[in-house]
């Protein structure tokens, strides 16, 4: 999977680009590239992002603690 790129967007989802096999709760899911995966934990379409992060004011740990590794 060397052609896969994962980017943590600022206070938003993970953006996954490239060919992936995506499994959630034991089920294989169809995934297009790019796929946006929930990072806040509040999406109603998990594991995909549905924009809830912006409504709940999700702030990534790196924003709160700049010296920490995310």
Per-residue pLDDT of the chain (70 residues; tens, 9 = 90+): 479 999 999 999 999 999 999 999 999 999 899 999 999 999 999 999 999 999 999 998 866 566 655 4
Q: Shortest CA distance to 22 belongs to which of 51, 53, 46?
A: 46
Q: Please state the length of the chain.
A: 70
Extract the tokens encoding 22. 């995506």
CATH number of 5-64: 3.40.5.90
Q: Is the pTM higher than 0.85?
A: no
Question: How far is the C-alpha of 27 from the C-alpha of 8, rounded, in Å?
Answer: 24
Q: What is the pLDDT of residue 70?
A: 47
Q: Measuring CA to CA, which residue among 20, 18, 15 is closest to residue 3?
A: 18
- Show me where the domains of the chain are located: 5-64
pLDDT at 8: 92
């Amino acid at each position: 999977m060397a052609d896969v790129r994962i980017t943590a967007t600022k206070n938003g989802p993970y953006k996954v680009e490239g060919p992936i096999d995506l499994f959630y709760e034991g089920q294989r899911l169809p995934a297009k590239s790019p796929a946006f995966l929930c990072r806040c934990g509040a999406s109603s379409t998990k594991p995909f992002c549905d924009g809830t992060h912006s409504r709940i004011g999700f702030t990534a740990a790196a924003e709160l603690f700049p010296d920490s590794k995310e």
